[in-house]
Amino acid sequence: MPKKVKAGQSSASDSEANSEKVKSHSKKAGKTKKAKAKKGKIAGKVTGTAQVLSSEVVFDGRLFRVVRDSVIEPGGKEGVRDVVRHNGSAVILAVDNSKSKKDPWIVMERQYRHAAHRFLWEVPAGKLDAGEDPLAGAKRELEEETGYRAKKWTELVEYYASPGFLGESMKVFLAEGLVAGDARPEEDELIELRLVKLSELLATIEKGGIMDGKTLSSVLLYARLLEKKRRK
Give me the catalytic one of 187, 189, 192, 206: 187
Q: What are the DSSP calls for the chain, one per residue? A: -PPP--TT---HHHHHHHHHHHHHHHHHHHHHHPPPPPPSSS--S--S-PEEEEEEEEEE-SS-EEEEEEEE-TTS-EEEEEEEE---EEEEEEEE-SS-SSS-EEEEEEEEEGGGTEEEEE--EEEPPTT--HHHHHHHHHHHHH--EEEEEEEEEEEES-TTTB--EEEEEEEEEEE-------TT---EEEEEEHHHHHHHHHTT----HHHHHHHHHHHHHHHHHHH-
Residue 187 among the catalytic residues: yes
Question: Annotated catalytic sites, by residue?
Answer: 187
